[in-house]
Amino acid sequence: MGTTKRKFRAQALENLPASLILAITLSRRYRDVMTLRPVDVECYSGSRADERPRIIRTGGREYVVMKLLGESVEESFVGKSRRRRYKVLTREGLALNLIRAEDGDWFLEEEPPV
């Protein structure tokens, strides 16, 4: 692919919302492996806003986070966006992977059905 095409794609992505860039990036990386489902998340806010997830609401259910298992920050080279990943353990014993896009949207990362 020529430099002109890459430059055009990067410029086109700059104008998209961070959550859409996240979905495009992940769909390319995890093609047919992982899916993202939008979720509502209630957070603890300490020294920064949305410091860590406390309650996850999806599909009419509510999951209380008992423990934060991991946290990381990822930066996209294309759109220069930043997202946070959280791995949490719920009261029900589920280990969930959450992604918070730069624009504040939350997603649950799921493996596709077998």
| pLDDT value of position 1 | 47
Checking 108-112 for CB contacts under 8 A at 24+ apart, the result is 108/36, 108/37, 108/38, 108/39, 108/56, 108/58, 109/26, 109/34, 109/35, 109/36, 110/34, 110/35, 110/36, 110/37, 111/33, 111/34, 111/35, 112/32, 112/33, 112/34, 112/35
- 7 pLDDT band, cuts 50/70/90, is very low
Q: Given a cut of 50, is residue 94 above it in pLDDT?
A: yes
- What mean pLDDT is predicted for residues 78-95? 88
Q: Given a cut of 50, is residue 4 above it in pLDDT?
A: no
Per-domain residue ranges of the chain: 3-110
| pLDDT value of position 81 | 78
pLDDT in tens, 11-67: 455 555 665 555 555 555 544 556 888 999 998 776 666 678 999 999 899 999 999
When the pLDDT of each residue in the chain is averaged and rounded to a whole number, the result is 76
| pLDDT value of position 47 | 63
96 compared with 13, residue with greater pLDDT: 96
